[in-house]
Amino acid sequence: MADGFELFTDRSVVAMRVNGELKDLAATVTADDTVEPVTIDSPDGLAILRHSTAHVLAQAVQSVNPEAKLGIGPPITDGFYYDFDVAEPFTPEDLKALDKEMSRIIRAGQRFVRRVVTDDEAREELAAEPYKLELIGLKGGAASAEENESVEVGGAELTIYDNVDPKTGETVWKDLCRGPHLPSTRLIGNGWSLMRVAAAYWRGSEKNPQLQRIYGTGWPSKDELRAYQHRLEEAAKRDHRKLGAELDLFSFPDEIGSGLPVFHPKGGIIKREMEDYVRRRHIEEGFQYVSTPHITKAHVFELSGHLPYYKDTMFPPMELENSEYYLKAMNCPMQNLIYRSRGRSYRELPLRFFEFGTVYRYEKSGVVQGLTRVRGLTQDDSHSYVTPEQAPGEVKHLLEFILGLLRDFGLDDFYLELSTRDENSDKFKGSDEQWEVATDVLREVAESTGLDLVPDPGGAAFYGPKISVQARDAIGRTWQMSTIQYDFNQPEGFGLEYTAADGSHRQPVMIHSAKFGSIERFFGVLTEHYAGAFPVWLAPVQLVGIPVAEEYAPYLGAVVEQLKGAGVRAELDTSDDRMQKKIRTHTKQRVPFQLIAGEDDRAAGSVSFRFRDGTQENGVPVEEAVERIRRVIAERRQIVTAEDFR
C-alpha cells in the first residue's frame, strides 16, 4: 500500500484518479488499483486548484468577519465563487483586505486534510453554519450537484476538510466538502485574483435568503493569470451590448421588458442579410419554407412531450375560449402537424421543413444577457423526416451544411460535442435500443468529420441525443452554435407515419437542426467575433464617400450612385465637418470602405480608398473600383487593409 506522494514525484501532480475516481494525493492505494496522475494544468487539476482557492477565500472571509456564514464554493469555468451570508455587502475595500488575508494563508502552506464523518458528527462540528446543516440534510441526491458541492451526492460518506497549520499540526479552519483538494495552500501560488461581488439567492431560489457571492479566478502561474486578464480586457472591448449602442444596431427598451431586443435600421440590415443567406441556403439544400403561429393550445406541447420538462421556462398560459394557450417555446411540435396534415409516402422522404420561428422562453432576469440569452428569439429551425435507413446520410448532410455556413460567416475553428442521456435519470424517453441506435448514428457521423468530439453525458434532450458545434471566436472563446438532434419520440407522440414500399405504415425518424441556433445569439457572437467590424457583405454601411472639399461632392456623389445601382450600401457624407473629422467618425463606425476624391481623382476619373486600419490605395479607376467592391461582397471577404483589397 502507498499514497500519491510516494507514487508521484512530479511537483505538477496535485491529485490522482484511482479506479476512475478523483482522490487526494494523501489517499492510500493498493497494487490492484488503477492510478493515474492529475496535473495542475489539466482540466481536473484546474478545477481542484480553483476549488482549493475558493476554500482559502472562505477561510479569509471568516478570519476577517467571524460572523459570516458559509454557503457553497464550487469551481466554475475559468474560476470559482463562494457564497456568504453577511450583514453588509462586500465593498472594494473588503476585497483588498481579503486579498491580503488569502495571501497570508497561501504562504503559510496549510495542509488540506480529509476526514470522513457521520451526519451527527458533521452537525455537531458545523452547528454554527445553518447552510451547511441544510446541505447535510440534502445528502443522498435530493439537491443538484452544484448545491451539493460540499456533500458526497448520492453517496454514503460525508467528509470535512481541515486546514492544518504545518508548524503546530492544529486545525485552523474547516469546511464540509467532498474534495479533492491540493495537498497544500502553497501550491495555489500567485496565479489567482478576486474579481467581483454579486448577489445570489441560496440554492438559486428567490424564496431563499439572498447571499453575497465573491467571484475569483485561479491559474497555475502568474503569466497565465495575466493572459486571462488580457482576454477579459479584450472581451470587454468586444462586448456586443456596448458595441450595439455605439454602432446603433439594437437596444433593450425597459418599456418592452427584459430580454426582448429591438433592432435598429443598421442592425436590421445585418439581421436581414443573415436571414436572406440562410433562407437561400436552406432552399439550395432541399428544404421547404413553412410558417407556424406564435401561440398554440397546450395540447400540442403535451403531444410532443415538452410540457412536463419546459413548463417552468415557458411564459404563463392564457385562458382563451375555454382552452389553455401558450406562447410557443419551440417550433417542432407545429411542424409535426404540417407533416401529419396528409398521408406521406416513402417517396417523399427525406421531407425537410424550415422556418424562421420566433419562440419565447421565460428566462430568469438574472441570466438574461444581451443578445446571447434572451426571452424572445428567432430560430432558423428545420426538421427532416426520414426513414431510419436515411438517418445517417441526413445527419451527415446537415452537419456539412452547418460547417459550411459557419465558415461563410468567418467561424472556422470548432469542435463537436455529443450529448447523450443519463441512464440513471427517468427524464429521457425511449428504449435502450432506440438511444443506442441514435447515439451511434450521431457519433459515427461526427467522427467522420475528423473534428475533435467531446462527450457530454446527460446533456441530451428528453427525446434523443444531440450533436452541437462549439465554435471558437477571434479571441479563443468557445460558443455553442448549431445543433443536430435525433428524435424518435415526437413522431410516436404525434402518430407520424409514412407508407413504405411494401404498403405498410411506418414511423419516420425526425432530425432537428438549427444552423444559427438563434439569430439573436448568433448576431451577438458575430458582433464580438468581429469587434463590430463586420465583413463587407454584412456591414450595414459598406462604403462612405468623403470629398476632399465641397466642390468634389458632385463627382463623388455620382460614383456613390453608381455603386448603389450595383447593390452596394453606399452613402455620401455631405456634412459640414472637416474631412479629417469625417474620416474619424466613419472609422469609429467600422465602415469597411471610405472612398475619397479630390482634384487628381476627378481629373483622372478615379477614386482613392481608405481602409479600416488607415492604409490607402489611391488612383483606382471608377469602373475598376465598382467591380472590385462587388467582387469582395460576393466573396464575403473581410477587408481591413489595402493588402486585403488587392
- Residues marked active site are found at 332, 361, 379, 381, 383, 466, 512
Number of CB atoms found within 10 A of residue 158's CB: 23
The amino acid at residue 641 is T
Name 457's bridge partners.
420
Beta strands in 298-451 (DSSP E): 318-320, 323-327, 351-360, 376-386, 414-420
| Residue 186: C-alpha distances to residues 106, 273, 348 (Å) | 5, 54, 67
Residue 169: CB atoms within 10 A of its CB come to: 9
**Phi, psi (5° rounding) for residue 538?**
-100, -20
Task: Name residue 448's beta-bridge partners.
Answer: none
**Residue 461 DSSP label:** B
In order of 285, 352, 374, 401, 449, the CA distances from 397 in angstroms are 9, 12, 30, 6, 12
Backbone angles phi, psi at 585, to 5 degrees: -60, -50
Give me 99's grid cell: 486579498
Residue with cell 407545429: 334
CA angle 316, 318, 320 (to 5 degrees): 170
Phi first, then psi: give them for residue 491, nearest 5 degrees.
-55, -35
C-alpha cell at 599: 482634384
Taking Cα atoms as reference points, which of 212, 285, 277, 222 lies closest to residue 57?
A: 212
Question: Binding site annotation covers 586?
Answer: no
Judge whether 501 and 509 are in contact, CB under 8 Å.
no
The answer to whether the beta carbons of residues 395 and 437 sit under 8 Å apart is no
Which residues contact residue 180 at a Cβ distance below 8 angstroms, ignoring those fewer than 6 apart? 15, 22, 23, 24, 48, 114
**Residue 397 grid cell:** 448532410
Which residues partner with 371 through β-bridges? none
Which residues share a beta bridge with 384?
A: 352, 511
- Please give the sequence-ordered ranges of beta strands (E in DSSP) within 388-542, or none if there are none: 414-420, 453-457, 466-472, 478-487, 498-499, 505-506, 509-514
Name the nearest CA neighbour of 391 among 508, 535, 307, 264.
508
Distances (CA, A) of 383 to 174, 338, 351, 511, 513: 54, 11, 8, 6, 6
C-alpha closest to that of 190 among 91, 65, 105: 105
Nearest to 433 by CA among 506, 491, 488: 488
Copy the grid coordinates of residue 520: 439573436
Nearest to 640 by CA among 570, 608, 592, 584: 592
177 is in an annotated binding site: no
383 is in an annotated binding site: yes
Q: Which residues lie below 8 Å from residue 508, measured CB to CB, with a gap of 6+?
A: 339, 344, 349, 385, 386, 387, 491, 496, 497, 498
Between CA 568 and CA 542 the distance in angstroms is 7
Across the strands, what pairs with 84? 70, 212
Q: What residue numbers does the annotated binding site for Zn(2+) cover?
A: 332, 383, 512
Q: What residue numbers does the annotated binding site cover?
A: 332, 383, 512
